[in-house]
Amino acid sequence: MAKVAKQAKEGKTTKTTKRRKTVAIDVYKAWCKGCGICVAFCPKGVLAQDEEGHAYAKNLEACIACMQCELRCPDFAITVITEDRLNAGKGGSAHG
Amino acid sequence: MPEYTRLIHNYLRHDKKFPHVWCPGCGNGILLGSLIRAIDKTGLSKDDIVLVSGIGCSGRLPVYVDFNTLHTTHGRALTYATGVKLAKPSLNVITIMGDGDSMAIGGNHFIHAARRNIDITAIILNNSIYGMTGGQYSPTTPYGMRASTAVYNSIEQAFKISELAVTAGAVFVGRQTVYNAKLLDNLIEKAILKKGFSVVEVVTHCHVQYGRQNKLGSAVDMLKWQRDNSIPVEKAAKMSPEELKDKIITGILVDKDLPVYEEEYEKVRERAKGLA
Amino acid sequence: MGNTNQPLLLQGNEAIVEGAIAAGCRFFAGYPITPATEIAEGMSVKMPMVDGTFVQMEDEIGSMGAIIGASLTGVKSMTATSGPGFSLMQENIGFACITEVPCVVVNIMRGGPSTGLPTNPAQGDIMQSRWGTHGDHPIIVLCPHSVEECFYATIKAFNLSERYRVPVILTTDEVIAHMREKITLPPAESLEIIERVRPNVPPDWYIPYEDNSIGVPPMSAFGDGYRYHVTGLVHDVRGFPTSRPDEVDAFIHRLHRKIDKGLPYIQEGEYFLMDDAEVAIISYGSVARSAKQAAILAREKGQKVGVFRPITIWPFMRGAVEEILKNVRAVIIPEMNMGQYSREVKRVDQGYARIITLNRVDGQVITPDDILRKLKEVY
């Protein structure tokens, strides 16, 4: 949220604030049971199931990092990796 | 920017075999994620949390998380939790029960725990079926629905867990679906922080037993049903009983204050020592 | 603790309360039931005085669950009941057995079965105290026969439950529970009080159910930083559910081995006039008092009669009983039941001695005369 505020201050915000870019969606296949919940409730149709049923990002660009997939994954198998998380990842983990 | 999966991983027991035991798409997993997020927001230390469960699919939840965890006998989670809380009030005690666990065999303990107002958070996973044992009807299976012990359709009226909790005197009662995981996080957080007996009825689905026997479709379909049939309590107040038939009334049903058992008992100790 | 060093006139139930407090019990959960209610009443008055906790639960099932929960936080805990309540407690007693949670369950026996004879004594729960809960499980059962012994046996019950991490049943009959006798409570310092062994390794080294030389793993308390899992499912050394045959087998055997190894410490019996006895009376609880009187009267008639009184009912005192069977020509076993303890004596008897049972199930106490009449069969 801090980033958006910073942009606003600099008058750079466009009408719709620019979403952090999702660089990857990591699905941990060992835990993903192919239940299809993330695929069904992704508002942007980003996800699909491969032939084994595991979720994967079919069209990553559409991802708006709304986290609905992480929120409802019963097996904690999906992680949305966005730009700032990635950078944060480099400079020490984003959280404890 | 919210961060769920990695946060959850911090709370899981790393030496416990994953993926967990629940069926693909089971709502128990969604609730577990929600519970962890809620606990994380309360800032409580892992050492001070005791997760107590009974028997059934819900009973298998505590083993996966890095707290003091206690998997007790069917229906009796609240009695063990009562012992834990009264013996060491500094602990935050949360019970995880199923609908059969809490309302059938555990019903008597439930209403008394509510009446006593011990500072325990009772989270009830209501999927309207006995899932672990293969799909028998439970006290919350709606009238007319089918189950492995009600192949001619159930002829019993179902309990409304939250309303029953309100009547039994619980000071905080809320209901939410696993579909609305975000709202569920907030509800659980409030329940944990609330002083006194708090009940969170989690409407979840068992597509493998209840869904299959009643042709309600997949986990996704049942989640959609939750989405399309839940009505916030504020809105429901303005609706007629007919409109509310078979709807899930979500949100906080009661949030009041009564003397909390262990605090009252501390006064008993003072009175007793005054006489000793 | 109550006022020590001066004689008191206490009821058996009251002595149990004093013994529990002296043993360090600081949590009691119970439910009213004749003839054990006085224990709950006493606890409701005294627990808060010693910074303990009393709670009256909605039933005996809840009482048993609550004392296990309390014990898991490191607090010594107890409940008390009688037949009907004892039957309700069985499943959770089994939970305490498999999770090895120390606790004491007092069962004051009354006439059974079912509602039976609520105000009459009986000894009909002996087998239930051993096998009441399902599955092969360890258990220790003690039986006092006087008000003073109610005090000391309660302390022993707590010490054994802490030492072996096993529920200990303290059982006696209504007569002992309700009778009053003189008792001088000893000063606290004179008592040996045992506490459960706590882990001395750091939390991430702690393996909660790891076997060791005595088969009793150290036990941490909820909130001490050792966030471990407790479950009624058979579990591996880390406490996680398992059904692997090798782990299950090792686990079940450890539960029993820890008791077998402790038998010399666990088993205690009283030998009364037994040195040169030709005939032994084996009896426990209030019946043992009549047996002693009968032995005294028989001795006056020159009959060499003695009494062996097991204080530890279970594990069965096989060694002591076999020894007696080999050294006497007849054994009389009076019980206020249909012969539950005598079944065990007969089981170990390889034809060493004649065994005569005396069984009263009319709700009345067995008197010295009853026993003397039985003695006629051997004299």
What does the mean pLDDT of chain C come to? Answer: 97
Q: Are B55 and B74 in contact (CB under 8 A)?
A: yes
Quick: pLDDT tens for B196-214: 999 999 999 999 999 999 9
**Is the pLDDT assigned to residue C2 strictly greater than 70?**
no
Neighbours of B (≥3 Cβ pairs closer than 8 A)?
A, C
Task: Tell whether C345 is covered by a domain.
Answer: yes
| Per-residue pLDDT tens over the stretch A27-64 | 999 999 999 999 999 999 999 999 999 999 999 999 99
Whether residue C174 sits in one domain with residue C49: yes
Please tell me the CATH code under which domain B3-275 is placed: 3.40.50.970
Let me know if residue C1 belongs to a domain: no
- pLDDT for res B137: 98
Q: Which residues of A touch B2 (CB under 8 A)?
A: 67
User: Taking Cα atoms as reference points, which of C107, C138, C143 lies closest to residue C125?
Assistant: C107
In a domain, C195, yes or no: no
Q: Clarify whether residues C229 and C256 are in a common domain.
A: yes
Q: Does the CA dihedral C26-C32-C38-C39 come out positive or negative?
A: negative
Q: Find out whether C24 and C76 touch, Cβ atoms under 8 Å.
A: yes
Contact B229, B247 (CB under 8 A): yes
Cβ neighbourhood burial of B216 (10 Å; 0-12, 13-18, 19+):
middle
With CA atoms as reference, the chain C residue closest to B55 would be C232
CB of B211 within 8 Å of a chain A CB? The answer is no
Would you state the structure tokens that stand for residue B158, as one six-digit string?
């179902």
Q: Which of C266, C290, C306 is the last residue of a domain?
A: C266
Task: Tell me, yes or no, whether C2 lies in a domain.
Answer: no
* CA distance to partner chain B, nearest, from residue A91 (Å): 17
Show residues of chain C in contact with B71, CB under 8 Å: 229-233
Q: Per-residue pLDDT for A24 more than 90?
A: yes
Task: Please indicate whether, in this complex, the C-beta atoms of A37 and B27 are within 8 angstroms of each other.
Answer: no
Q: Where are the domains of chain B?
A: 3-275
Say whether both C306 and C250 belong to one domain. no
Q: Do B19 and A77 touch (CB under 8 A)?
A: yes
| Whether residue C211 sits in one domain with residue C350 | no
Residue C198 lies in a domain: no
Tell whether B92 lies on the interface with C, counting CB pairs under 8 A. Answer: no
Residues 6+ apart with CB under 8 A from B128: B99, B138, B140, B141, B142, B145, B158, B206, B210
CA distances from B118 to B110, B122, C207 (A): 11, 11, 32
Here the ipTM equals 0.94
Helix (H, G, I), strand (E, B) or coil at C51: coil
> How distant is the Cα of A6 from the closest Cα of chain B, in angstroms?
15
pLDDT of residue A18: 58
Judging contacts by C-beta atoms under 8 Å, the chain B residues touching residue A35 are 24-26, 219-220
Determine the pLDDT at residue B1: 56
Size (chain A), residues: 96
Percent of chain A with pLDDT over 90: 64
CA distance linking residue B82 with residue A82, whole number of Å: 44
Judging contacts by C-beta atoms under 8 Å, the chain B residues touching residue A74 are 22, 24-30, 32-33
Tell me, yes or no, whether C338 lies in a domain: yes
Spatial distance between the Cα atoms of A54 and A75, rounded to a whole number of angstroms: 12
Per-residue pLDDT, B69: 98
Residues C196-217 pLDDT 10s: 999 999 999 999 999 999 999 9
Interface check for A71 against chain B (CB to CB < 8 A): the answer is yes
Distance CA C213, CA C208 (A): 15
Q: Are residues C177 and C47 in the same domain?
A: yes
B97 near A CB under 8 A:
no
- Read off the pLDDT band of A7 (50, 70, 90): very low
Which is nearest to B204 in space by CA: B126, B101, B96? Answer: B126
Q: Is B215 on the interface with C (CB under 8 A)?
A: no
Residue numbers of B between 162 and 181 with CB closer than 8 Å to A: 178-179, 181
CATH for C335: 3.40.50.920
Q: Please give the residue of chain A at the shortest CA–CA distance from B37.
A: A71
Q: Is the pLDDT confidence value at A12 over 60?
A: no
pLDDT of residue A14: 46
Top residue of A27, A42, A71 to mutate, by most chain B CBs within 10 Å, is A71
Closest CA to B56 of B141, B126, B145, B158: B126
Looking at the structure, tell me whether residues C255 and C326 fall in a common domain. Answer: no
The answer to whether the CB atoms of C72 and B73 lie below 8 A apart is: no
Q: Does the pLDDT at position A4 exceed 50?
A: no
Q: Angle at Cα B260 formed by Cα C76 and Cα B198, nearest 5°?
A: 100
Interval C224-241: pLDDT, tens: 999 999 999 999 999 999
Q: What domains sit in chain A, N to C, each tagged with a CATH number?
A: 20-87 (3.30.70.20)
- Structural domain including C297 reads 269-375
User: Across residues A72-79, what is the average pLDDT?
Assistant: 96
- If asked whether residues C36 and C134 sit together in one domain, one would say yes
Task: For chains B and C, count residue pairs whose Cβ atoms are closer than 8 Å.
Answer: 143
Over residues C69-82, mean pLDDT: 98
Sign of dihedral through CA atoms C57, C63, C67, C73?
negative
Judging contact as 3 or more Cβ pairs under 8 Å, the answer for C and A is no
From C234's Cα to the closest Cα of chain B, the distance in A is: 11
Residue C251 lies inside a defined structural domain of this protein:
yes
Q: Is pLDDT of A90 > 80?
A: no
- What integer pLDDT is reported at residue A95 of this predicted model? 39
Residues of B in contact with C135 (CB under 8 A): none
Q: How far is A75 from chain B (nearest CA, A)?
A: 6
pLDDT the model gives residue A85:
73
Higher pLDDT: A8 or B20? It is B20
**Same domain (yes/no): C39, C171:** yes
Q: Which residues of chain B have pLDDT under 50?
A: none
Q: Closest to C73 (Cβ–Cβ): which among B67, B87, B108?
A: B87
Q: Does C230 touch chain B (CB under 8 A)?
A: yes
Q: B-contacting residues of C 166-185, CB under 8 Å?
A: none
Q: Check whether C4 has a pLDDT greater than 90.
A: no
Instruction: Look over chain A and give the mean of its residue pLDDT values, rounded to a whole number.
Output: 80
Last residue of a domain, one of C166, C190, C214: C190
Hey, is the C-beta of A96 within 8 angstroms of any chain B C-beta? yes
Report the alpha-carbon distance of residue B152 to residue B121 in Å, rounded: 37
DSSP string, B84-109: HHHH-TTSEEEEEEEHIIIIITTHHH
Q: According to the model, what pLDDT value does residue A16 have?
A: 53
Band of pLDDT at residue C169, cut at 50, 70 and 90: very high
Does residue C352 contact residue C322 with C-beta atoms inside 8 Å?
yes
| C259 plus C307 within the same structural domain | no
Same domain, C290 and C314: yes
Domain check: are C97 and C63 in the same one? yes
pLDDT in tens, B126-169: 999 999 999 999 999 999 999 999 999 999 999 999 999 999 99
Residue in chain C nearest B263 by alpha carbon? C53
Nearest CA in chain B to C51: B269
Q: Is A73 on the interface with B (CB under 8 A)?
A: yes
**C116 and C209 co-located in one domain:** no
Mean pLDDT, range C122-144, rounded to an integer: 98
C-beta atoms of C222 and B50 within 8 A: yes
C240 touches chain B (CB under 8 A): yes
Most C CBs within 10 Å: which of B76, B105, B265, as the mutation test of the C interface? B76
State how many domains chain C has: 3
